[in-house]
Structure 1
């Protein structure tokens, strides 16, 4: 499934994406960063995931299209190896509450419960300082 609209909100640090089926998600940059599909974050197998800490204020400096199936964001902490496919972004949106809670639980278990205070479901997208791509097909 392809996206129909993508907006990057720099001020509120959210990435909005809408899909052909009418679904629309607002994904905080922090959430995207800690769930990067890169090997650096995911490891090389189940149980090999690397807990990402200190990403509360991470930004996105650019978003490059990768073919017709993904994007590759450049984060302000230097991370740029994650290829976010449309299917993966859809999954991150559809399962946001559950995945965010899993992340908070992992932070708590590792003693980093104060590392983030952001609740992705409560973040409202801003209206200024954003990049907008209407009818995005890349």
Structure 2
């Protein structure tokens, strides 16, 4: 599923999908769900997950500076605090906005 339009509206990321559904993801939820190894930890060959040492999040942590498309599968946000390593696959974005997804009419 591909987005056809992506915009920041206030404190939410608004995504219109190919099937006509729309998702509204609060920027704070988006940042807290960052899938990068620094935020979520990283597994080793034995299946152990290293616990990430995250710096405390501030107001700048939830302010979006830019949004970049990554290939045909995701988006990479740049946050005002400088964090920019998380690539959000479209499937993850759809799940994060699940509570706000409406059926096409």
How high is the TM-score relative to the length of structure 2?
0.74
Match of 1:30 in 2: 28
Match of 1:44 in 2: 42
Equivalent position SS for 2:42: coil
1:48–1:21 distance in 2 versus 1, CA, 3 Å: farther
Q: Which runs of 5+ in 1 are unaligned?
A: 97-138
Which gives a bigger RCO, structure 1 or 2 (Cα 8 Å, sep 6+)?
1
Match of 2:13 in 1: 15
Q: Which runs of 5+ in 2 are unaligned?
A: 44-48, 101-105
Contact 1:30 1:56 in 2 (8 A): no
Equivalent position SS for 2:39: helix
State how far apart, in whole Å, the 2-side matches of 1:52 and 1:13 are.
22
Aligned residues: 94
Larger helix proportion of the pair: 1
Larger strand proportion of the pair: 2
1:66 aligns with 2:73: no
